[in-house]
Amino acid sequence: MALSVFDLFSVGIGPSSSHTVGPMRAANRFAAQLRASGVLPRVRGLRVDLFGSLAATGRGHGTLTAVLLGLEGVDPETVLPEEIERALSRIDGEGQLQLADGAGAVGSEAQSPITVPFREADIVLRPLTVLPTHTNGMRFGVTDAEGELLVEETYFSVGGGFIVREGAEAQVQDRLESTLAVLPFPFTTGAELLRYSSETGLSFAELMLENEKALRPEVEVRDGLCHIWDVMEACKNSALTRTGVLPGGLNVRRRAPEWHRRLTAQDPYRDPQYWQEWINLVALAVNEENASGGRVVTAPTNGAAGIIPAVLFYATHYAPGAVAWSEAERRTAISDFLLTAGAVGVLYKEQASISGAEVGCQGEVGSASSMAAAGLAQVLGGTPEQVENAAEIAMEHNLGLTCDPIGGLVQIPCIERNAIAASKAVNAAKMALMGDGSHHVSLDDVIVTMRETGRDMSEKYKETAMGGLAVSVSVGIVEC
């Protein structure tokens, strides 16, 4: 379910929204449930099964540690990377978990956490078993002192940090329908967005804002969007201070600080001829931060987290007149960009998927590129038809993009791919603005095509690290 811009842009930790943020949320939810139901004091044992893609690339994506921390009550939106390090070394040293500890266990009452023994073998990886609902499945079970099963629940991480509990699919659908009912402009297709625009004269950004205002006050919406941009900026800035290699054993060197130093020397006055180098840098920096488990904005996923910050950087630095914008004008441009990108993101979430494990990288990087193109076309003054066209062009030329991360790490090809997709988004927006908005393939057509292409794609190319670059390139993983 994604009807709010804040569903699509949420703050979390890297390296993956579906394999890190989602599993942490699911484990946290399960632990909170144990506490709320009063079962917690009887728990003495724990077992976790990870299925399909979560098991295949979970180690490289940090799924195992995310699950442990979630079970302790850690929340991906608030946890600091340094707290993660501390908690993991404590669990490792003591060989036990503090189940449902801390305020992260939503709905908890004041109860002490329960200490349960934990060994690595308590997390069982089942890469060849794909549960019917979704490939990113995880099952949590707890036992009592006699080893009897007390509670068992299965969750699915369905992309972008969204989770669904098995058996609760109907509730999610109900929630979706009841939320749609309160929105002034309920939409799930591009055709509906265009129709509302033509009936009201409102842009996509304004339509999305009206919907957001039905859920929270306008000032909260605007402040929230600026906060999202601040976190994106902080994420990029943090990466610029870090050197060395990224974690995971692939020995991928962090390039952002060196590129930043060279680019600043080359282009001290932000000459527009260097726009591409700058957006490459922003995308690279954000994705390096994500790959190292840092704080990022899921946009709409972590693997694709660098594209929207890079294109929004372009909008705020290179849009005509941007250098002279007042603070209020800058905030409006940021809101308009993110609201438009969010409206397009809703279309992908509702009609197709933003999960690499479901439809390949076209669903992650492709969707982000399309959302960014729409946001930029909006800020550059595009009509609703041109904005829709920009989103369509960007996805059309990402169709078929596979997910084949080397070593199951969100590093190669992911980091550079974000930079390439950001440039593609800028180009798509520019191409759309050169036209009058009329075009052959509608955005809805291309979204459905992406979904069907994803269905036809071999599982080898859906975040399993069993095909493509992941098997063609021989690189040793150095255990660290």
* Binding-site ranges for ligand SF4 (CB under 6 A): 303-304, 356, 361, 364-365, 403, 405, 410, 413-414, 417, 463
Minimum distance of ligand SF4 from residue 92's CB (angstroms): 26
> In this structure, which amino acid lies at residue 330?
R
CA distance 395 to 87: 40
- Contact at 8 Å (CB) between 256 and 263? no
Minimum distance of ligand SF4 from residue 361's CB (angstroms): 3
Nearer to ligand SF4, 142 or 361 (CB): 361
Nearer to ligand SF4, 49 or 463 (CB): 463
Minimum distance of ligand SF4 from residue 394's CB (angstroms): 15
Nearer to ligand SF4, 28 or 290 (CB): 290
Residue 120: exposure state from Cβ atoms within 10 A (0-12, 13-18, ≥19): exposed
CA distance 270 to 97: 51
CA distance 225 to 74: 24
In the chain, what is the straight-line distance between the N-terminal and C-terminal CA atoms, in Å? 38
Angle made by CA atoms 181, 10, 32, in degrees to the nearest 5: 85
Task: Cis check for the bond before 76: say yes or no (omega within 30 of 0).
Answer: no
What is the secondary structure of 171-201 as a DSSP string? Answer: HHHHHHHHHHHH-SS--SSHHHHHHHHHHH-
Residue 269: exposure state from Cβ atoms within 10 A (0-12, 13-18, ≥19): exposed
Minimum distance of ligand SF4 from residue 414's CB (angstroms): 3
- Contact at 8 Å (CB) between 249 and 292? no
Minimum distance of ligand SF4 from residue 250's CB (angstroms): 13
Minimum distance of ligand SF4 from residue 461's CB (angstroms): 9
Minimum distance of ligand SF4 from residue 403's CB (angstroms): 3
Nearer to ligand SF4, 113 or 405 (CB): 405
> Residue 207: how many CB atoms within 10 A of its CB?
23
Would you give the DSSP letter of residue 408?
G
Would you give the DSSP letter of residue 245?
B
Minimum distance of ligand SF4 from residue 342's CB (angstroms): 20
Minimum distance of ligand SF4 from residue 179's CB (angstroms): 28
Nearer to ligand SF4, 34 or 421 (CB): 421
Nearer to ligand SF4, 190 or 413 (CB): 413
Which parts of 314-401 are beta strand (E)? none
Nearer to ligand SF4, 333 or 365 (CB): 365
Nearer to ligand SF4, 116 or 125 (CB): 125
Nearer to ligand SF4, 79 or 361 (CB): 361
CA distance 360 to 353: 9
Minimum distance of ligand SF4 from residue 283's CB (angstroms): 11
Across the strands, what pairs with 154?
139
Q: Are strands 123-126 and 45-51 parallel, antiparallel or unpaired?
A: parallel
> Residue 325: how many CB atoms within 10 A of its CB?
14
Nearer to ligand SF4, 183 or 414 (CB): 414
205, 237, 285, 313, 422 from 323: Cα distances, Å = 22, 20, 23, 12, 21
Burial string for 347-365 (b: 16+ CB within 10 Å, else e) reads bbbbbbbbbbbbbbbbbbb
**Of 269, 243, 275, 267, nearest to 256 (Cα)?**
243
Nearer to ligand SF4, 113 or 160 (CB): 160
Minimum distance of ligand SF4 from residue 413's CB (angstroms): 6
Nearer to ligand SF4, 3 or 410 (CB): 410
Q: Which residue is nearest to ligand SF4 (CB)?
A: 303
CA distance 279 to 277: 6
Minimum distance of ligand SF4 from residue 109's CB (angstroms): 38
